[in-house]
Amino acid sequence: MNGSAPRARRTPLPYALLIPATVALAVALGYPLVRQVVLSFQDFGLAQQFGRPPEWVGLGNYRELVTDPYLWRVTLRSLVFCLVNAAVTMAIGVGLALLMRHMTSWVRVLLQTGLLLAWAMPVVASLTVWQWLFDTQYGIVNYLLTKLGLDFQGHPWLLEPLSFFFVATVIVVWMSVPFVAFTVYAALTQVSEDLVEAAEIDGASPLQRLRHVVLPAIRPVLLVVGLLQVIWDLRVFTQIFILQQAGGSTRDTNLLGTYIYRLGIGGGKFGMAAAVAIFMLLLTVILTAPYVRAMLKQESED
């Protein structure tokens, strides 16, 4: 009798069960993407919305965009805004998560409640509050800075591009930090205390324990959270759009998200807007490729 273990019989049932979900996902995600790609090769404007057939222009939209200096200014602005916001959000979120490990239970619950409320607040409602805080005449921020002896009386935060993006960064980071803090804290609760104590007994300083024990243990979570932050901060729209409506200079503060909106909905150039959207998708792939590569390497090592 052959002593080898019998081979498990393969059945197509698991693959058949995946077919409905795969088809639904392909339709829900694939059709809009294909439609966007096709639209980017067409001259599709207001006339086409009233029944005129779209004109096929091939790479015409892309050639016009590539030779437009304004697109590259918006792209550079979007990249800087994305990377700065993602870095600040990760630094503050990870810092809060590390602090929560050393807080007493009631202080930690109080902090988590505040973070949860900030995270759960509707975007438009929170932006209304932030607009009042930075209001030129009645804002509490100008009032407090003036009381501290700084010349901020009547400072127009939203009129100057640099201060506009400072306000936008404060708002975007404030909305994003709770997700990072909660996710990283959940990962920290899974770090073996025995490893940390062993490193402490071996003479490792708190910084060395953090660098060589804690952070490597939660590296997969940090990679995923960092990947999501880069994606979200690159395609940020609502915060920028509402601040522009409140008084910001549109041309000097457009990011890729608002630029696509103003090309399509605002200007009726839907083909051009679709081309910028595809460009933005490719830019997202390029930015996230190092994170994906690092995650794949982490999985192969495990």
> Which pLDDT tens digits describe the chain residue by residue (302 residues)?
455 555 556 777 878 888 888 888 888 888 888 888 998 898 887 777 777 888 888 888 899 888 989 999 999 999 999 999 999 999 999 999 999 988 888 999 999 999 998 888 888 888 888 988 988 888 888 889 888 888 788 888 888 889 899 999 999 999 999 999 999 999 998 888 888 888 878 777 888 888 888 888 888 899 999 999 999 999 999 999 999 988 767 888 999 999 999 988 888 889 899 999 999 999 998 988 888 888 777 777 76
Integer CA distances (angstroms), 210 to 39, 43, 105, 289, in order = 50, 55, 22, 27
The model's pTM is 0.84
Domain segments of the chain: what residues? Answer: 55-301
Tokens 């953090």 correspond to 210
Cα-Cα end-to-end distance for the chain? 37
Integer CA distances (angstroms), 178 to 24, 54, 215, 283, in order = 32, 45, 19, 26
Q: If phi over 0 gives left and psi between -120 and 50 gives alpha, with beta otherwise, what is residue 224?
A: alpha
**What's the rounded Cα separation, in Å, for the pair 188 and 210?**
11
Per-residue tokens: 63: 């050639």
Q: Does the structural domain 55-301 have CATH classification 1.20.120.1630?
A: no
Question: What pLDDT does 46 receive?
Answer: 76
**What's the rounded Cα separation, in Å, for the pair 212 and 265?**
50
Integer CA distances (angstroms), 26 to 19, 21, 39, 143, in order = 10, 9, 19, 53
